[in-house]
Amino acid sequence: MSSPIAPSSPGLTLPVWVAGAAKAALKVLLGEAFDPEQQLCQGPDQPSLQVPVCSAAPLATDQALGISRCDPGPGLDLTRDLEIWVRVAWISASQPMLDLQAGEGVGRVGPAGEACLSGFARELLERNLLPLLPPGRGLVVQPILPLGRALAQRTSNAAFGVVDGLALIGTQAEVQRSAAPDQLQQVLADLGTLASDPSFQGRIVLVIGENGLDLARQRGLGPLLKVGNWLGPVLVAAAEAGVRDLLLLGYHGKLIKLAGGIFHTHHHLADGRLEVLVSLGLDIGLSADQLLQLRGAASVEEAFQALGADQSRALGQHLAAMVERRSQSYVARYGDWSMRIGAALFDRSRTLRWWGPEGEKRFFTLRD
């Protein structure tokens, strides 16, 4: 194996580093010399990617291992310097095909424990590996993240049913910075474009991440704007842009921060979720024992599950109403606008559970 090579292409998502290591491993399996720079094709009309790879070598006559090291670019990111191994192995197949398997440290999802890969990750692997396969050969592709299981404990993966490791869920090659100022500027630019469209009717749905985006699309809600963690500035900008009805749609474990007056929701900057939940529980008259139970929960989801159905419903509805109230108060600090803010919250199963009074009144399509 060659000596590790320092990554020179910062700002790339985890699936890209996996694909780079996989291609390097496949090429040495085909008998080629190790190449520390792997070129990846993204698709038509998109630039190719030059991905540095640390090493690759055969493990046996029918399998090989490639290693890369993740460089997500500037900013706080727990995948920085994460070592990525990808084992590839020949299998018989009537036509070129990939058998994608979750190795140690890769998140699994569903009853069969399949590797949690985004469509982008799968397509990137297929686009760059399938053309290299000889006739009658398929390929096992098994990403391995030696530190993935430990790092996953610091994410919300488990809240969405992803277990045993990190999910390979990037939706594009370049890292999107939900906590970086340049990401805020892009969101504000997108908001301006949306609000200036002649067909704009003054309604908008803000989502934080991919789960909210998917749920909003399933519900036929729109127009949509994915805002990341910069909720406070975007709420004010929406009011300034003439938005009249705004819906905040998000995971309860994220939007609960707004109920506590925290309007930049990145976990590196502020938390306090369970403390906010205890305060809300006090508002609705939960007992001292129940409040202690909330305070000792491992997550917001676990806290809700520990309550009875009626109490859980009451607490969730109160949470949604408080998100609306605190958001409205936040915007009012900066001006007198007519924009009304609604909130709708979903749980880890991506089931819409609660909405505040404004959300229910102004976005009635949320009702099943």
pLDDT (tens place) for every residue of the chain, 368 residues total: 333 333 344 489 899 999 999 999 999 999 999 999 999 999 888 889 999 999 999 998 999 999 999 998 765 567 889 999 999 999 999 999 999 999 999 999 876 788 888 888 999 999 999 999 999 999 999 999 999 998 887 776 665 667 888 988 777 877 655 444 556 778 888 898 999 999 999 999 999 877 888 888 888 888 999 887 778 888 989 999 999 999 999 888 888 888 888 776 554 444 577 888 899 899 999 999 999 988 888 888 888 888 999 999 999 999 999 999 999 998 998 888 899 999 999 987 888 889 999 988 877 555 44
Task: With residue 264 as reference, give the H or E element that holds it.
Answer: none
Closest to 99 measured CA to CA, from 85, 111, 89 = 89
Contact 59, 87 (CB under 8 A): yes
Helix, strand, coil content of the chain in percent (nearest 5): 40, 20, 40
Cα–Cα dist 78/268, whole Å: 11
Query: Other C-beta atoms within 10 Å of 319: how many?
Result: 28
Q: Mention every residue, 6+ apart, whose C-beta is less than 8 A from residue 272.
A: 257, 260, 262
Distances (CA, A) of 174 to 23, 69, 70, 73, 120: 19, 15, 12, 9, 12
Tokens, residue 80:
């920085």
Q: Which amino acid is at 135?
A: P
Beta carbons of 34 and 56 less than 8 angstroms apart: yes
CA distances from 88 to 12, 34, 285, 288 (A): 22, 15, 57, 55
Secondary structure in 3-state letters for 340-355: EEEEEEECCCCCEEEE
pLDDT value for 4:
33
Distance, CA of 104 to CA of 339 (rounded, Å): 49
Question: Which of 173, 13, 2 is CA-nearest to residue 77?
Answer: 13
Report pLDDT for 266: 52
Question: What is the reported pTM?
Answer: 0.57
Residue ranges and CATH numbers for the domains of the chain are 14-166 (3.30.2110.10), 181-366 (no CATH)
Residue that the structure tokens 């094709």 belong to = 41
Query: What is the gyration radius of the CA atoms in the chain, in angstroms?
Result: 23
Which residues, 6+ apart, have CB-to-CB distance to 49 below 8 Å? 9, 12, 16, 20, 39, 40, 42, 173
| Residue among 350, 332, 361 at smallest CA distance from 162 | 350
Alpha carbon distance 127, 341 (integer Å): 43
Task: Find out whether 18 and 103 touch, Cβ atoms under 8 Å.
Answer: no
Picking from 144, 146, 138, 145, the residue whose alpha carbon sits closest to that of residue 29 is 138
